[in-house]
Amino acid sequence: MAPSNLHQLVPQFSALRTELSMHELLQAVWAQLEKDIHALGLFISSVDGLELPIMHKHLVIFLRELAPGSLPEFLYRVDLPETSEVLDPSTEDFFENLAWQILRREALKVYFRLHYAG
């Protein structure tokens, strides 16, 4: 089952002490994703409505349209851990699974930044 909020995607968020609203946290995750994409000279269009399922769908579209040669560099930039679930590019749901892992990694970056900033 696909996560519907940050607490399901990254359980550590439930214990995070922050004054930021869930909307602001989702904005921070999307901003982190945009930062990593822009660092490679790539562009992702703005997302309408900051809800995790909408963000996921938007990222899947971006990944599907990404030039195959750009994908490894993008994954390196996102810093997807080697312990991530094994992804098989030949499966039908490859981009859907990859997008969830990317969003989880970007959310963890935001979590660690907020957790250790205080």
**Would you state the pLDDT for residue 82?**
58
> Model's pTM, two decimal places?
0.91
Q: What percent of the chain has pLDDT over 90?
A: 58
Which amino acid does the sequence have at 12?
Q
Q: Indicate if the pLDDT at residue 118 is higher than 70.
A: no
- As a whole number, mean pLDDT of residues 95-118 equals 92
Domain boundaries along the sequence of the chain: 33-117
> What's the sign of the alpha-carbon dihedral 17, 23, 24, 30?
positive
d(CA 116, CA 111): 8
Q: Indicate if the pLDDT at residue 83 is higher than 60.
A: no
Q: Half-sphere exposure of 94 toward its Cβ, with a 13 Å CA cutoff?
A: 9
